[in-house]
Amino acid sequence: MSRASSEEHELIESGKPRTLAQTLREKPEIPLAVVLFVGLVGGWELAVRLFEIPKIVLPAPSAVALALWNGMQGDFLKHFGITFYETIAGFVLGSATGLVLGALISQFRLLERTLYPYIVAFQTLPKVAIAPIIVIWFGYGVTSKIVITATIAFFPLLANTIVGLRSAPQEQIELMVAFTATRWQVFRLARLPQALPYIFVGLDVAIVLSVIGAIVGEFVGAQAGLGYLILQKNFNMDMAGVFAILIVLSGMGIGLHLLVNAIQRRVVFWMDGSSDRVMGA
Amino acid sequence: MLIEVAGLNKVYRTREGEDIHALSDVSFGVGEGEFVTVVGPSGCGKSTLLKILAGTLRRTSGGVHMRGRPIDGPSRDVGVVFQAPVLLPWRTVLENVMLPIEIQKRDREKFALQAQHFLKLVGLEAFSGKYPNELSGGMQQRVGISRALVHDPALLLMDEPFGALDAMTRESMNLELLRIWNESKKTVLLVTHSIPEAVYLADRVIVMSPRPGRISEIIKVDLPRPRPLEIINSEAFGRHVVAIRKHFQSLSALDA
Ligand SMILES: Nc1ncnc2c1ncn2[C@@H]1O[C@H](COP(=O)(O)OP(=O)(O)O)[C@@H](O)[C@H]1O
Ligand SMILES: [Mg+2]
């Protein structure tokens, strides 16, 4: 009863501009989130001042904000650009490789049986552990960071592509074959579109991991980039600077994640938002 | 005869190396323009038979001919409908109907008119730009039927096409199918496990029994056409149903 009447209520109201009070009533998480954020940051600021915590241990939010502001005027942008480039290039390289290899493996059993042991072995290797080797092979410049990022972005795409390309219902395939579809037509018209939701889950995981990959690469040895900058500021005990860079980094991660999601909603328009695809990492 | 099946056998070999005799010495013919139904309990080889006719499953032995030529693979002259509509969710209704045209690289412009025609025939002309998830199960199945007809095949193969629908929708779909059959002059072979449905639709009913799947009887249905839905209450209809049901006295797997 109450459900029906509340739906009716919504129907009548929809279309009219919402008042602030209405929005607050329908989305109580928004004011809650604001309160939580203000409370956390305020409490942090207060704690730092009250207990006189040294700024090399924990900088006050105000100090972080100031460092962020100064960094933005200074060299943050340059280093951001480098890390961003490494992230994107590594992401594209790794996910494209994973996608193509996944497509081949899903279609040719022989390839799967021959390649899979190597792929599993490679995936179980911690990429942080092989990063120093890659830096030696590819140098201290951006190339080694791109390669490290690619090794991390590779697997989520590979795994999700394989599962996705095999997810088309058997009846669907049989129907297309009965209509005289060739193997390539079945792949193009049914398997590939069917795999897209899975592929996007892979892309989403991979893009976030790619930021980590670029930073790991820069930690191992670099002359520029946000990871390099973190190490430098850490060395100089500029904690506020380190925190400011962390904010920039998480901003980059969130931004890229949202971008992938926005593209997904456009491309995979027939699926509703909730995705229950396999994760790949 | 459009279709001739003679001494057809199908043996499945399972992974454990066990043989399953799905079809045993099956022989029958289907004339041009005829509506033939196949009825039998689950597991008696109905789908197997249909897949062999559709050319998607290899037979073990025996002859299967269409217009005198052996069926050794899928044919452009066949349309199929399964129990699940299996529409592509990223394609509009019209694009789904056009799938066989695209696969067979036929003239799209010409057949788009044909697609519209069949959508109109199943009462969905207003839905051609909609996506499958905006349609009910019965509507989706009607799209599936349009898709099976769009390339103007000589033979329509249907495997329990209304099995997933509720009784009311099912009845109206039966009525609609007869209307389409009457207008399009196709040959139809339809599999069902409902005896009344088999009788209502058919010129002839092939009655099958399981283990191994074989034909028990082929019953000619001499009910006049067109057949209104009320015909199922007639005495003549009941006689046909009884004649078929006596083959399944010991089996309870069939609908009344
Ligand atoms: N791919 C297969 N492998 C092994 N056995 C099968 C396979 N497909 C069907 N069968 C067996 O063949 C028999 C007939 O199946 P089917 O043609 O699907 O029957 P129906 O459509 O009448 O229910 C059943 O016993 C079934 O288990
Ligand atoms: Mg079946």
Q: Examine residue A64 and state whether it is found in any structural domain, yes or no.
A: no
Q: Examine residue B118 and state whether it is found in any structural domain, yes or no.
A: no
Identify the pLDDT of residue A57.
Answer: 84
pLDDT in tens, A115-165: 888 988 888 888 889 999 999 999 999 999 999 999 999 999 999 999 999
What number is the average pLDDT over the span B21-44? Answer: 93
**pLDDT band at residue B168, thresholds of 50, 70 and 90?**
confident
Q: Examine residue B1 and state whether it is found in any structural domain, yes or no.
A: yes
Identify the pLDDT of residue A2.
Answer: 42
Pick the range with the lowest mean pLDDT from A21-25, A30-34, B27-31, B207-211.
A21-25
Identify the pLDDT of residue A39.
Answer: 94
Q: What does R_g of chain A's alpha carbons equal in angstroms?
A: 24
**pLDDT band at residue A195, thresholds of 50, 70 and 90?**
very high
The CATH number linked to B232 is: 3.40.50.300
Say if residue A74 is in the same domain as residue A143: yes
Q: Examine residue B223 and state whether it is found in any structural domain, yes or no.
A: yes
What number is the average pLDDT over the span B7-11? Answer: 93
The interface predicted TM-score (ipTM) is: 0.89
Q: Cβ(B131) to ligand 1 under 6 A? A: no
Contact A270, B90 (CB under 8 A): yes
Q: Examine residue B93 and state whether it is found in any structural domain, yes or no.
A: no
Q: Which domain holds residue B64?
A: 1-11+20-77+156-164+182-256
Total structural domains within chain B: 1
CB-based contacts of B237, cutoff 8 Å, min separation 6: B196, B199, B200, B223, B231
CB-based contacts of A124, cutoff 8 Å, min separation 6: none
Say if residue A82 is in the same domain as residue A138: yes
Find the closest chain B residue to A196 by CA distance: B90
Token pair for B253: 């797997």
Token pair for A203: 């892309």
For the cut 80, the answer to whether the pLDDT of residue A4 exceeds it is: no
Say if residue A45 is in the same domain as residue A154: no
What residue type is assigned to position B217 of the chain? E
Q: Examine residue A107 and state whether it is found in any structural domain, yes or no.
A: yes
Min distance B86 CA to chain A CA atoms (Å): 6
Min distance B109 CA to chain A CA atoms (Å): 19
**Ligand 1 atom at minimum distance from B45 CA:** 17
Say if residue A167 is in the same domain as residue A226: yes
Distance of CA B190 from the midpoint of ligand 1 (Å): 17
State the ligand closest to the CA atom of B210: 1
What number is the average pLDDT over the span B42-63? Answer: 93
**Ligand 1 atom at minimum distance from B48 CA:** 17
Say if residue A43 is in the same domain as residue A164: no
Of A174, A185, A193, the CB nearest to B56: A174
- List of chain B residues whose C-beta atoms are within 8 Å of the C-beta of residue A167: none
Total structural domains within chain A: 2
For the cut 80, the answer to whether the pLDDT of residue A5 exceeds it is: no
Say if residue A114 is in the same domain as residue A146: yes
Q: Examine residue A125 and state whether it is found in any structural domain, yes or no.
A: yes
Q: Examine residue A146 and state whether it is found in any structural domain, yes or no.
A: yes
Q: Examine residue B96 and state whether it is found in any structural domain, yes or no.
A: no
What residue type is assigned to position A25 of the chain? R
The CATH number linked to A110 is: 1.10.3720.10
Number of H-type helices and E-type strands within chain A: 13, 0
**pLDDT band at residue B185, thresholds of 50, 70 and 90?**
confident
Say if residue A106 is in the same domain as residue A176: yes
Q: Examine residue B170 and state whether it is found in any structural domain, yes or no.
A: no
Say if residue A228 is in the same domain as residue A94: yes
Kindly report the backbone phi and psi dihedral angles of residue B24, in degrees, each rounded to the nearest multiple of 5, phi listed first.
Answer: -130, 115
- List of chain B residues whose C-beta atoms are within 8 Å of the C-beta of residue A189: 88, 99, 102-103
Q: Examine residue A280 and state whether it is found in any structural domain, yes or no.
A: no
Mutate to test the pocket of ligand 1, among B10, B12, B50, B60 (most ligand atoms within 8 A of CB): B12
Number of cross-chain residue pairs from A and B with Cβ atoms under 8 Å apart:
53
Residue A189: strand, helix, or coil:
helix
Identify the pLDDT of residue A27.
Answer: 81
Please, what is the angle between helix A142-165 and helix A127-138, to 10°? 130
Say if residue A14 is in the same domain as residue A149: no
**pLDDT band at residue A17, thresholds of 50, 70 and 90?**
low
Q: Could you please report the per-residue DSSP string of A110-139?
A: HHHHHHHHHHHHHHHS-HHHHHHHHHHHH-
What residue type is assigned to position B254 of the chain? L
CA distance A12 to A56: 57
Find the closest chain B residue to A270 by CA distance: B90
Identify the pLDDT of residue B254.
Answer: 54
pLDDT in tens, A233-268: 999 989 999 999 999 999 999 999 999 999 999 999
Percent of chain B with pLDDT over 70: 97
Token pair for B243: 């004649």
Q: Which domain holds residue A188?
A: 69-267
Q: Examine residue A44 and state whether it is found in any structural domain, yes or no.
A: yes
Say if residue A48 is in the same domain as residue A73: no
**Ligand 1 atom at minimum distance from B42 CA:** 23
Residue A232: strand, helix, or coil:
helix
What number is the average pLDDT over the span A21-47? Answer: 87
Q: Examine residue B4 and state whether it is found in any structural domain, yes or no.
A: yes
Identify the pLDDT of residue B252.
Answer: 55
Distance of CA A38 from the midpoint of ligand 1 (Å): 65
pTM of the entire predicted model = 0.83
For the cut 90, the answer to whether the pLDDT of residue B256 exceeds it is: no
**pLDDT band at residue B255, thresholds of 50, 70 and 90?**
low
What number is the average pLDDT over the span B51-62? Answer: 94
State the ligand closest to the CA atom of B159: 2
- List of chain B residues whose C-beta atoms are within 8 Å of the C-beta of residue A172: 86, 88
Q: Whose CA is nearest to atom 6 of ligand 1?
A: B12
Q: Cβ(B135) to ligand 1 under 6 A? A: no
Identify the pLDDT of residue A221.
Answer: 87
Q: Examine residue A279 and state whether it is found in any structural domain, yes or no.
A: no
Q: Whose CA is nearest to atom 11 of ligand 1?
A: B22
Say if residue A120 is in the same domain as residue A46: no
CA distance A279 to A159: 8
Query: B55-60 long-range CB contacts below 8 Å, 24 or more apart?
Result: B55/A178, B56/A174, B56/A177, B56/A178, B57/B10, B59/B8, B59/B9, B59/B10, B59/B23, B60/B9, B60/B10, B60/B11
What number is the average pLDDT over the span B171-175? Answer: 88
